[in-house]
Structure 1
Amino acid sequence: MSEHKTWFERIMNRFYAIPSVAQLWASRAAQRSAALVAEDGSIPFTRLSKPLSAARGVLITTGGVHLKTQRPFDMENRDGDASYREIPDNVALDEITITHKYYDHRDADADLNVIFPLAHFHELVRQGVVGSLASRHFGFMGHLEGEQLAALMQRSAPEVAAKLRAEGVDFAFLTPA
């Protein structure tokens, strides 16, 4: 996709930036994702079993973040792209880009830490606030519908969860877009 958004994409970004429209879209998405909610209506939550200063964390974003050398997320499929990209913890931020047309990411393009705060988390580790970071972080593309949402829940999310368990990750810091 070219650097310049089409007029339609610009209009849609502004439309979904209207709070009431964003709330309606989120409400509809939540209803379609009822499998993520417990029978009592609560959202599953697990408290950390150790102090944050001893915990290993990972960054996960739905902002379309990936390495410049990786295949961009599919922007042509109206249902989105349920695949993910692994981002090494030791990557230089200038080796990362964003492929996502469903939100205005100009601020994140100027400072990647807006959507993917890797530099900030490295500082938290140096300060001893966070114990350590995983060797790799994960970029997804948000805006998933239909078959792509099913693929995320049945394939991509379980794959990433297994990788996080294998590396001993204690918490995930999620940045939606």
Structure 2
Amino acid sequence: MSGGRRRRVVSEAELALWTRVVESVRPLPGRELQPITPSAPFAPETAEPKKPSPQPARTSSQPAPYAPPAPPPLAPLEHRLRRRLARGVVSIDARIDLHGLRQDEAHRRLASFLIGAQASGCKVVLVITGKGRPSAGDEPYGSERGVLRRSVPMWLGSPAARQIIVGFEQADVVHGGAGALYVRIRKGGMRR
């Protein structure tokens, strides 16, 4: 085989199983079953596997291919900072309330809020997602509450957001508990 995608070789056991499946099927009215015969994709390959071609050695005059840096990992808030936030010793620099918004609008507002918070030099912000409406027993989509409560942590964990934030975690009860998140903002703009 030259170039292209290599076809998978089907074993005799798989072919026998497929034959039994086809025999158990009733054809549509006016149609007939075609007999199964081993064809090229099913026949075992006799050619030897291709060896990868060696990469040409890179000389010192050739620049290394550009690979964008991986986004930094998220870090949880320090225990001391979290305790001081809950007691009010450390103030929250800014807050945004997203509950009641549609997902697309909440996502846009959160992104612009975080960019603005970083530009303003904020250290810790509060993102209020809301807890969601209580489910009514026979909920067709399960008992899970709050679309934004589930979506915002995914957005904050995205590579784009990690360029702006250091980490996040659920807020203390005095700041909204399960319906809010403390978000720690990264200093200045990171270079891409």
Same fold, TM exceeding 0.5?
A: no
Higher strand share: 1
The structure with the largest alpha-carbon Rg is 2
TM-score (normalised: structure 1): 0.24
Structure number with the bigger relative contact order (C-alpha 8 A, sep ≥ 6) is 1
TM-score (normalised: structure 2): 0.23
Higher helix share: 1
